[in-house]
Amino acid sequence: MTNLEELKLKVLKKYYGYDKFRPEQSRIINNVLAKKDSLVLMPTGGGKSLCFQIPAIMFKGLTIVISPLISLMQDQVHALQANGIRAELINSSQTPKQIDETLEKIKNNELKLLYIAPERFASFGFKEFLQSIKISLIAIDEAHCISEWGHDFRTEYRNLSKLKSMFPDTPLIALTATATEKVKLDILKQLNLTEPKIFITGFDRKNLSLQIMKKNSTFEKILNLLEKYRNESVIIYCFSRKDTESMAKKLKEYNHNAKPYHAGLSTKIREKNQDDFIKDKVNIIVATIAFGMGIDKPDVRLVIHHTFSKSIEGYYQEIGRAGRDGLPSECILFFSYGDKKKQEFLINMSRDLANKQAGQKKLNEMVSYCDMRQCRKKFLLSYFGEQTNFENNNCESCDVCLGIVEEIPTKVKKSKVNTGNYNNELFEELRILRIEIAQEKQIAPYIVFGDVALKQMATLFPTTDEGFMQISGVGEKKLIDYGEDFLKIINEFVMVNNIEETLEQNTSSKQIATSENTFDTEEGVTYKNYETYVRPDKVDEETVKTFSKRNRKTKISKTTKKRRTKKSGVTGIKNQELFDRLKVLRLKIADQRGAPAFTVFPDTALKDMANKKPSNNEQFLEMKGVGEKKLAEYGVRFLKEINN
As a whole-number percent, the residues of the chain with pLDDT over 90 amount to: 41
Class of residue 197 by CB neighbours under 10 A (exposed 0-12, middle 13-18, buried 19+): middle
Task: Bin 292: left if φ > 0, else alpha if -120 < ψ < 50, else beta.
Answer: alpha
Q: What is the DSSP code string of 531-543?
A: SS----SSS-HHH
Does 114 share its domain with 59?
yes
pTM of the model: 0.65
Residue 567 is assigned to a structural domain of this protein: no
* DSSP state at residue 184: H
Longest dimension (CA), the chain: 91
pLDDT given at position 634: 93
Do 167 and 30 share a structural domain?
Answer: yes
Q: Pick from 166, 200, 234: which residue ends a domain?
A: 200
Q: Are 117 and 160 in contact (CB under 8 A)?
A: no
3-state secondary structure at position 100: helix
Structural domain total, the chain: 4
**pLDDT at 23 > cutoff 80:** no
What confidence score (pLDDT) does residue 370 get? 92
User: Comparing 286 with 443, which gets the higher pLDDT?
Assistant: 286
CA dihedral 86, 89, 95, 98 (to 10 degrees): 10
Q: Tell me the C-alpha distance between 525 and 630, whole Å.
A: 56
Three-state secondary structure readout of 147-175: CCCCCCCCHHHHHHHHHHHHCCCCCEEEE
* Strand-pair partners of 519: 527
Least confident of 221-225, 315-319, 562-566, 616-620: 562-566
- The pLDDT score that the predictor gives to residue 333 is 97
Where is pLDDT greater, at 418 or 502?
418
- pLDDT of the residue at 416: 54
pLDDT of 526 reads 28
**133/275 same-domain check:** no
Neighbours of 353 (CB within 10 A): 8
Domain that holds residue 486: 424-520+530-554
Contact 503, 462 (CB under 8 A): yes
pLDDT tens, position by position, 248-275: 999 999 999 999 999 888 988 988 998 8
Percentage of the chain modeled with pLDDT above 70: 85
* Residue of 48, 59, 81 lying closest to 595 (CA atoms): 81
Tell whether 629 and 600 lie within a shared domain: yes
Q: HEC profile for 553-596?
A: HHHHHHHHHHHCCCCCCCCCCCCHHHHHHHHHHHHHHHHHHCCC
Same domain, 359 and 506: no
Q: Evaluate whether residue 418 is within a structural domain.
A: no
Domain with 588 in it: what CATH number? Answer: 1.10.150.80
CATH code, 221:
3.40.50.300
pLDDT surpassing 60 at residue 505:
no
How far, in Å, CA of 81 to CA of 111, rounded? 11
Q: In what order do the strands lie in the sheet with 258-261?
A: 208-214, 329-335, 300-305, 233-237, 284-287, 258-261
pLDDT at residue 508, rounded to an integer: 30
Taking the C-alpha atoms of residue 409 and residue 200, their distance in angstroms, rounded to an integer, is 38
**Which stretch of 64-68, 216-220, 476-480, 581-585 has the lowest confidence by average pLDDT?**
476-480
Structural domain ending residue among the three candidates 134, 167, 200: 200
Q: Quick check: is 393 in a domain?
A: yes
Beta strand pairing call for 208-214 and 62-66: unpaired
* Average predicted confidence (pLDDT) for the chain: 82
Please report the beta strands in 307-401, taking only residues with DSSP state E, as ranges in sequence order: 329-335
Amino acid 430: pLDDT: 93
User: In a 3-state reduction of DSSP, which class is residue 102?
Assistant: helix
pLDDT-based confidence at 567, cuts 50/70/90?
A: very low
Q: Are residues 501 and 622 in the same domain?
A: no
How long a stretch of residues is the chain? 644
Angle formed at CA 222 by CA 515 and CA 229, multiple of 5 degrees: 155
Q: What is the pLDDT of residues 147-203, one digit of tens each?
A: 877 666 788 888 898 899 999 999 999 999 888 888 899 999 999 988 999 998 888
Task: Give the single-character DSSP code of 384.
Answer: T
Which span out of 26-30, 78-82, 348-352, 431-435 was modeled with the highest average pLDDT?
26-30
Tell me, yes or no, whether 149 and 128 share the same domain: yes
Query: If you write DSSP's letter for every residue of 230-249 in order, what string do you get?
Result: TTSEEEEE-SSHHHHHHHHH
